[in-house]
Amino acid sequence: MKVYGITNCNTVKKALDWLKANKVDYEFHDFKKLGVSEQKLNEWNDKAGYEKFLNKQGLTWKGLDSEVKESVKGAVEALPLLQQKTSMIKRPVIEDGNFLFFGFDEAVYQQHFNK
């Protein structure tokens, strides 16, 4: 299982704490150190749609110029922006086989990991 995120993100910290407390093994991928590939973003987009993981509530999105925000009409515009500004990806991203989840929801985690 792989967890994608940023170490100083509170939501990521909550998720990692939950995984540790429930003895779920994972590999951590730090967006700030490792970035994210175009291929991975396309894979997530194909499975879930970029709207699921483009975080429009965060400071990075809110800090963009209006022109840039308005130019995002679909995946063609969104994915390169997400690759450039990984802090706009809703975190954490959990990949576990066919399970793909963005964010932290204890009930979803409990159901998926049967804890």
State the CATH number of the domain containing residue 29: 3.40.30.10
Contact present, 115 and 22 (Cβ < 8 Å): yes
Residues contacting residue 48 through CB under 8 Å, at least 6 positions apart: 100, 102
3-state secondary structure at position 93: strand
Range of the domain at 70: 2-113
The chain-wide mean pLDDT, for the chain, equals 96
User: 113, 106, 84: which is closest to 15 by C-alpha?
Assistant: 106
Catalytic residues: 9
**Burial (0-12, 13-18, 19+ Cβ within 10 Å), 73:** exposed
Question: Which pLDDT band, with edges at 50, 70 and 90, does 31 fall under?
Answer: very high
Q: How many domains does the chain have?
A: 1
- Going by the DSSP 8-state scheme, the letter that residue 50 receives in this structure is G
Question: Which pLDDT band, with edges at 50, 70 and 90, does 35 fall under?
Answer: very high
pTM of the predicted protein model: 0.93
